[in-house]
C-alpha cells in the first residue's frame, strides 16, 4: 500500500514542479501492478476536470480496454472532490486510499460525503489518512510558495 501512495506522491511532486496543485493518483490492477498514474493537469490542459483521479481513471480504462475498473484500487494524495468521488463510483473502483483529508473541497469524508448518499450507485471501500503528513505537507508548501509570489 505504501509503495503505491509513494508513487502517487511522486506524481504530485511532479505536478507541483509544473505549477499545478500537487495531487497524484495511481490505479492498481487486480494483480497488484500499476495500471495508470497521473497528476493534476488543470492549468496545462486548460481543463477544470483534469484532476489526477480523472486522468488516471481514464488512462486505466484505456489501458485495460474496459469501461469499469471493478477489481482495481485507486491511491490519491488528497481526499477526492465531488467530481472525482462521483467518477470513482461510476468507474466502479473497488477501494479508494487517500492521503490528506480536505475539509474544504473533499466529498468523501467531508462536504457531501458522496459514498454515504442513498442515490450513489457504487460505494468503494475507503481508507483515508495514508501517508497523510507527506500529502498535506506537499499541498501546504505549494500554497505557501504561491502566497509568497
Q: Which stretch of DSSP H or E encloses residue 10?
A: helix 2-17
Q: What is the DSSP letter of 132?
A: H
The three three-digit cell numbers of residue 15, written as one number: 505536478
CA angle (92 as vertex; 86, 96 as ends), nearest 5: 75
Q: Which of 44, 53, 67, 109 is catalytic?
A: 53
The order of strands in the sheet holding 125-127 is 34-39, 24-28, 73-78, 95-100, 125-127
**Is 148 designated active site?**
no
- Rg over alpha carbons for the chain, rounded to the nearest Å, is 14
Dihedral, 98, 103, 106, 109 alpha carbons, nearest 10 = 70
Catalytic residue ranges: 53
Amino acid at each position: 500500500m505504501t509503495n503505491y501512495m509513494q508513487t502517487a506522491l511522486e506524481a504530485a511532486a511532479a505536478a507541483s514542479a509544473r505549477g499545478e496543485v500537487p495531487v497524484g493518483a495511481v490505479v492498481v490492477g487486480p494483480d497488484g501492478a500499476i495500471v495508470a498514474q497521473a497528476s493534476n493537469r488543470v492549468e496545462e490542459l486548460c481543463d477544470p476536470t483534469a484532476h489526477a483521479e480523472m486522468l488516471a481513471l481514464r488512462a486505466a480504462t484505456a489501458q485495460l480496454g474496459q469501461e469499469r475498473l471493478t477489481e482495481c484500487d485507486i491511491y490519491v494524495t488528497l481526499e477526492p472532490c465531488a467530481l472525482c468521488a462521483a467518477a470513482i463510483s461510476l468507474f466502479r473502483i473497488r477501494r479508494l486510499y487517500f492521503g490528506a483529508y480536505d475539509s474544504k473541497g473533499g466529498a468523501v469524508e467531508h462536504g457531501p460525503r458522496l459514498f454515504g448518499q442513498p442515490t450513489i450507485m457504487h460505494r468503494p471501500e475507503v481508507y483515508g489518512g495514508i501517508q497523510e503528513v507527506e500529502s498535506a505537507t506537499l499541498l501546504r508548501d505549494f500554497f505557501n510558495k504561491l502566497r509568497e509570489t
